[in-house]
């Protein structure tokens, strides 16, 4: 508190330097002087702004500068910390001058106040994340066949005749590279039973891009949207940014509780659902609930956003039919991504759309980003056409199954006094239930200080009581990494259980 009081006194609201640059410099000086120690957690940006009497945008701009230069480190679901390994040059250099419009945004008491619908986006969407144990929902990028990918890329460039060069090096189709759309149509028909053609598919920069554009196209301000609770934070952010009202709808062992959604917002215009593997809890939407959801959507004239983000990695049984495959009224928009099948840095996703919506989405795609990079689309199309995607998914499915088994055994053997975990049939993480007295947020914060990344389910809940649950990813980590992570968790649990000790 003394540090915050000092910062508040030092900020000169009438000075020429914008507030965010003043705050940036003062925090940098405190880190350089050791007043803020490596690994120390900072207050949230909202708390920081409130305590200093400035806007949250001022704090966000200052934090972003410090993060980009390596002085702060954001940890998903936990907060922002002073980096454990600081840059060599201390004290730090002044930041490069940025766009005057952004500087004006940082000086909140002047003329510009940004929309909270955008600036309040969840931190999980704002910051880069790395595969540290036990990061959930992250593929084994170190196992991706980079040499095979590089060979395909080299061949693609070598074979660029004038016609191909004009297509791949020139401007692209906002709907997406047609050979890729053809390959996707074949893939979803075989793997998920979708009846569609390349003309129903639009390529996006990841599934979140498609979700956001769907909210902009299908919603008007004030309309309501069913969102799973706990659930994907991106839909809450996109619905809010579109001026709509997210309505949290609980989930149980059968997935989204459709009756509760109808009771809370029978007139909703849109529903977001992850039926094949509910995010984050992992259950499937039951067949009865699927039919009930489609029946409601048809009667209400509502749209259904089906996020099928990692169905390819299924370890037991057969998946239920996709909602899109059951839809006979053209109410379901099906979203998929290559971030899990291949690697997140690719930033390619796709939507399978009803005929009536294709033109609207292609027009909007032409405005928002115009088109995805053509060479990357061509590479993925070639990767799929040559059978490499199917082979890679099979290899990863076997690898992930082994890694899940190893993690479950390690938890049962070494962490059973403090938590239990059950296997998942699909995906890249398991859900663990903490013993009474241990909170998911508290455990995640302690783990973050030790270099782990654990997802507390409560961080993704609006009304649901979920602080006894955490998600532990297994897909991106070998046995040695998991053993080290288990050792750290055991130490954290032991410290929490010791009388008079805090983690």
pLDDT at 57 over 70: yes
Q: How confident is the model at residue 89 (pLDDT cuts 50, 70, 90)?
A: low
Overall CATH class of domain 146-389: alpha beta
Integer Cα distance of 272 and 235 in angstroms: 7
Q: How confident is the model at residue 118 (pLDDT cuts 50, 70, 90)?
A: low
Nearest to 426 by CA among 382, 354, 375, 475: 475
Range with the lowest mean pLDDT among 66-75, 175-184, 302-311, 325-334?
A: 66-75
User: What mean pLDDT is reported for the chain?
Assistant: 86
pLDDT at 145 over 50: yes
Query: Which positions ≥6 away from 224 have C-beta within 8 Å?
Result: 244, 245, 246, 247, 265, 267, 268, 269
Q: How confident is the model at residue 144 (pLDDT cuts 50, 70, 90)?
A: very high
pLDDT average, residue stretch 94-112 = 45
pLDDT at 321 over 90: no
CATH code for the part of the protein at 2-114: 1.10.10.10
pLDDT average, residue stretch 62-86 = 83
Q: How confident is the model at residue 159 (pLDDT cuts 50, 70, 90)?
A: confident
pLDDT average, residue stretch 39-46 = 84
Dig out the tokens for 292 from the structure: 């009930």
Instruction: State the pLDDT at residue 486.
Output: 95
* 245 neighbors 223 (Cβ within 8 angstroms): yes
pLDDT average, residue stretch 438-450 = 90
Q: Where are the domains of the chain?
A: 2-114, 146-389, 393-497
Range with the lowest mean pLDDT among 155-164, 173-182, 229-238?
A: 155-164
Range with the lowest mean pLDDT among 43-47, 98-102, 373-377, 435-439?
A: 98-102
Question: HSE-up of 323 (CA within 13 Å, CB side)?
Answer: 35
Using the 8-state DSSP alphabet, how is residue 225 labeled? E
Instruction: State the pLDDT at residue 106.
Output: 47
Nearest to 459 by CA among 81, 75, 82, 56: 75
Name which residue leads in pLDDT, 353 or 69: 353
pLDDT at 114 over 70: no
Q: How confident is the model at residue 7 (pLDDT cuts 50, 70, 90)?
A: low
Q: How confident is the model at residue 100 (pLDDT cuts 50, 70, 90)?
A: very low
Kindly state the helix (H) or strand (E) to which residue 274 belongs, with its residue range: none
Nearest to 221 by CA among 186, 245, 237: 245
Instruction: State the pLDDT at residue 257.
Output: 98
Q: How confident is the model at residue 19 (pLDDT cuts 50, 70, 90)?
A: confident
Percent of the chain with pLDDT over 70: 86
Burial bucket for residue 306 (CB in 10 Å: 0-12, 13-18, 19+): buried
Name which residue leads in pLDDT, 164 or 342: 342
Kindly state the helix (H) or strand (E) to which residue 149 belongs, with its residue range: helix 146-158
pLDDT at 397 over 80: yes
Q: How confident is the model at residue 88 (pLDDT cuts 50, 70, 90)?
A: low
Range with the lowest mean pLDDT among 70-74, 295-299, 305-309, 428-432?
A: 70-74
Name which residue leads in pLDDT, 150 or 451: 150
Instruction: State the pLDDT at residue 205.
Output: 93
What's the pLDDT tens digit per position in 249-275?
999 999 999 999 999 999 999 999 999
pLDDT at 126 over 90: no
What's the pLDDT tens digit per position in 276-294?
999 999 999 999 999 999 9
Instruction: State the pLDDT at residue 60.
Output: 84
Q: Dihedral (C-alpha) 249, 255, 259, 265: value to the nearest 10 degrees?
A: 30
pLDDT average, residue stretch 366-395 = 93
Give 393-497's CATH code, choosing from 3.30.1490.20, 3.40.50.300, 3.90.1150.10, 3.90.1150.30: 3.90.1150.10
pLDDT at 96 over 60: no
Question: HSE-up of 21 (CA within 13 Å, CB side)?
Answer: 17
Q: How confident is the model at residue 479 (pLDDT cuts 50, 70, 90)?
A: very high
Instruction: State the pLDDT at residue 319.
Output: 80
Integer Cα distance of 10 and 8 in angstroms: 6
pLDDT average, residue stretch 350-370 = 93
Supply the DSSP string of 371-417, one letter for each residue.
S--HHHHHHHHHHHHTTHHHHHHHHHHHHHHHHHHHHHHHHHHHSTT
């Amino acid at each position: 508190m003394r540090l915050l009081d000092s910062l508040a006194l030092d900020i000169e609201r009438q000075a020429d330097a914008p507030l965010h640059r003043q705050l940036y410099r003062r925090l940098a000086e405190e880190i350089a002087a050791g007043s803020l120690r490596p690994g120390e957690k900072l207050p949230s940006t909202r708390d920081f702004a409130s305590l200093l009497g400035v806007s949250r945008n001022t704090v966000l701009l200052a934090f972003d500068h410090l993060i980009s230069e390596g002085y702060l480190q954001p940890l998903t679901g936990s907060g922002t910390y002073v980096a454990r390994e600081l840059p060599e040059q201390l004290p730090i250099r002044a930041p490069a001058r940025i766009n005057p419009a952004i500087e004006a945004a940082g000086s909140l008491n002047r003329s510009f106040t940004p929309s909270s619908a955008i600036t309040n986006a969840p931190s999980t969407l704002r910051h880069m994340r790395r595969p540290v144990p036990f990061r959930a929902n992250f593929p084994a990028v170190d196992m991706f066949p980079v040499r095979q990918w590089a060979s395909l890329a080299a061949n693609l460039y070598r074979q660029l005749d004038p016609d191909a060069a004009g297509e791949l090096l020139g401007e692209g189709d906002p709907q997406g590279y047609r050979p890729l759309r053809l390959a996707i149509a074949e893939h979803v028909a075989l793997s998920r039973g979708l009846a569609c053609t390349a003309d129903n598919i639009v390529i996006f920069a990841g599934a979140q891009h498609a979700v956001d554009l769907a909210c902009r196209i299908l919603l008007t301000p004030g309309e309501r949207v069913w969102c799973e609770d706990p659930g994907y934070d991106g839909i809450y952010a996109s619905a809010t940014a579109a001026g709509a009202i997210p309505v949290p709808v609980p989930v149980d062992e059968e997935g989204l509780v459709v009756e509760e959604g109808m009771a809370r917002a029978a007139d909703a215009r849109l529903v977001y659902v992850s039926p094949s593997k509910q995010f984050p809890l992992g259950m499937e939407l039951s067949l009865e609930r699927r039919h009930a959801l489609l029946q409601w959507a048809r009667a209400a004239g509502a749209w259904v956003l089906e996020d099928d983000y990692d169905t390819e990695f299924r370890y037991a049984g057969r998946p239920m039919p996709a909602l899109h495959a059951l839809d006979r009224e053209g109410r379901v928009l099906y979203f998929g991504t290559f971030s899990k099948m291949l690697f997140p840095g690719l930033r390619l996703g796709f939507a399978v759309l009803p005929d009536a919506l294709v033109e609207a989405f292609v027009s909007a795609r032409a405005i928002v980003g115009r088109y995805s990079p053509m060479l990357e689309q061509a590479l993925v199309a070639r990767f799929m056409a040559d059978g490499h995607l199917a082979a890679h998914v099979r290899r990863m499915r076997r690898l992930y199954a082994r890694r899940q088994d190893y993690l479950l055994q390690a938890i049962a053997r070494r962490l059973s006094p403090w938590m239990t975990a059950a296997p998942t049939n699909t995906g890249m993480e398991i859900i663990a239930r903490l013993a009474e007295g241990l909170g998911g947020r508290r455990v995640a914060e302690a783990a973050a200080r030790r270099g782990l990344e654990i997802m507390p389910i409560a961080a993704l809940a609006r009304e649901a009581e979920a602080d006894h649950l955490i998600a532990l990813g297994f897909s991106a980590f070998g046995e040695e990494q998991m053993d080290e992570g288990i050792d750290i968790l055991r130490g954290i649990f032991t410290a929490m259980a010791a009388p008079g000790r805090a983690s």
